Structure 1
Amino acid sequence: YIKTYFCMFPHIFFINGGLESGIVGGKEVKPHSRPNMASLQYRRQHKCGGMLISDDYVLTSAHCLDKTTNFLEVVLGAHNISQNEDSQQIIQVDKYIRNPKYENDGLTYDIMLLKVLLVLKWSFFWLPKNNEDIPAHVECSIAGWGMKKPGGRASDVLWEVSLKLQFSFECKNKWKHHFNSEKMICSVSDGKRAFCQGDSGSPLFCDSELKGMAAYTYPYDCTYKKYPEVYMKISAFLPWIKKNIK
């Protein structure tokens, strides 16, 4: 899925798309160690990542639902998404709740809640307690299903990579008005470690706490060193999230 802006960056790619998903420069996650991480699928093909944040709500990126992907299924308990593992639970979505400002500003408000049909018995990720600044150079990690190098083959198993955060002003200097310092954070681009196409909605952890959600990266090459990768800052959306999940 590509959303085009006629501006300084004519093609900004949202990181969506089944066989183009992935983590670059990481390692395989211990199988089934993150059962509360979701694979969002369309016709049994992985489209995006997501995270369970309550008994019956999953948080992900708003652009994961588009004109070509008009419904999603939530798969929890997966490690190898190409297999029918006994641990997997496939759950139907009852309601899609996009942030109401998404239609007018698809980058800054690229966040969505999925109300699922079952009351789940999984553990879930704890949301940040308040909206606080996240310092640069903190070591963080992100996991997802897929590609281990730009243009490479997608992996069926869950992979994880460690990343360091970047100063917001440096991200603003690179991405200009596409980067909102109040609602976004970004990681250092070292050319070796990155998330890639297809990992929209995947959770970013810093010091073992949920901080962000993968949003967008540089088109064609997610390891391009000139542009840092961008995440939605989850704590900036706490009032909206809490209002909707009650």
Structure 2
Amino acid sequence: MLSDATSASDSGIVEGTESKPHSRPYMVSLEQEGQHHCGGALVRKDFVLTSAHCNNSKLGLTAVLGAHNIKKEEKSQQRIQVARYHVHPNYKDGLFGFDVMLLKTNSILNKYVKPIGLPKKDKRILANIKCSVAGWGMRFPSTAASDVLRETAVKTRFVNECKNIWLDSFNSSQMICTHSSGKKGGICQGDSGGPLICGRDAQGIAAYTHRVKCDDPTYPHVFMKIPSFVQWIKEVMKKRD
């Protein structure tokens, strides 16, 4: 199944609805050369959590915070050039494990820009828990991207369901997967790095889905399990760059 998987880049939430403007002040759009590239979550005023495969330090990334419509110059927006890229040391380009990265920024917190909480280390994430995802991009495969933030409800799945579909691509110690609470909703190419929100905290980082069938409920959507990486995240944020 590895050939059918892809990192979720270049599109967005499937079967979702438009978010209430600024109702998710932790959401970040990561732009590359002026175009939305990946999602992310502000976890401290000076750090954005996202996927390692979103790394492009050569061209540089701009973190757009406080946004609803990323194609407009909203007064609420802060556009900050990423100062430093902290890719997980065990991540290898082209593979699915350890797909986690922290970006050093310098945002100003206000009602439009607020960090999301992190879960406790090794917190167990059960199946059939109601969560949500959000992002900017395509509503369906091979369609135009959305300018506004969209969201949808999802539920966590059992580990064996994820493993049966994704086989060796799925590592249960690092990953969790979801399905739509409806029929087809969830992440698609372009939502990489965006958070899976369960309760008040970010529990996952959008990692991968099917290459061309992100709206097919047969294929679970996979997220890096944040509780497995909390210790590394906190260690990075303690360092002085």
Q: TM-score, normalising length from structure 2? A: 0.92
Shift of residue 104, structure 1, vs aligned partner: 6.9
Q: 1:24 aligns with which of 1, 14, 24?
A: 14
> How far apart are the structure 2 equivalents of 1:169 and 1:11?
19
1:50 and 2:50 aligned: no
1:77-226 to structure 2, matched below 5 A, reads 77-103=66-92, 106-116=95-105, 118=106, 120-121=108-109, 122-188=113-179, 191-226=183-218
Residues 61, 207 of structure 1: alpha-carbon distance in 2 compared, 3 angstrom cutoff: same
8 Å contact 2:78–2:107 — kept in the other structure? no
> How far apart are the structure 1 equivalents of 2:59 and 2:163?
33
Shift of residue 207, structure 1, vs aligned partner: 2.4
> How far apart are the structure 2 equivalents of 1:74 and 1:10?
31
Residues 194, 119 of structure 1: alpha-carbon distance in 2 compared, 3 angstrom cutoff: closer
- Aligned counterpart, 1:245: 237
User: Residue type of the partner of 1:169?
Assistant: N
Q: 2:5 aligns with which of 4, 7, 12?
A: 12
Query: Secondary structure at the residue paired with 1:163?
Result: strand
User: Residue type of the partner of 1:27?
Assistant: T
CA RMSD, 1 decimal: 1.7
8 Å contact 2:121–2:229 — kept in the other structure? no
Moved over 4 A (4+): none
Shift of residue 225, structure 1, vs aligned partner: 2.6
- Aligned counterpart, 2:226: 234
CA deviation vs aligned residue, 1:212-242 (integer Å, no higher than 9, x gap):
1111001111012322110010110011101
- Aligned counterpart, 1:4: none
8 Å contact 2:30–2:36 — kept in the other structure? yes
8 Å contact 2:184–2:216 — kept in the other structure? no
> How far apart are the structure 2 equivalents of 1:208 and 1:138?
13
Aligned residues between the structures:
234
Shift of residue 103, structure 1, vs aligned partner: 1.8
User: Residue type of the partner of 2:224?
Assistant: M
User: Residue type of the partner of 1:62?
Assistant: A
> How far apart are the structure 1 equivalents of 2:173 and 2:64?
31
Unpaired runs of at least 5, structure 2: none
Q: What percent identity do the matched residue pairs reach?
A: 48
8 Å contact 2:121–2:231 — kept in the other structure? no
> How far apart are the structure 1 equivalents of 2:107 and 2:16?
33
- Aligned counterpart, 1:5: none
Unpaired runs of at least 5, structure 1: 1-7
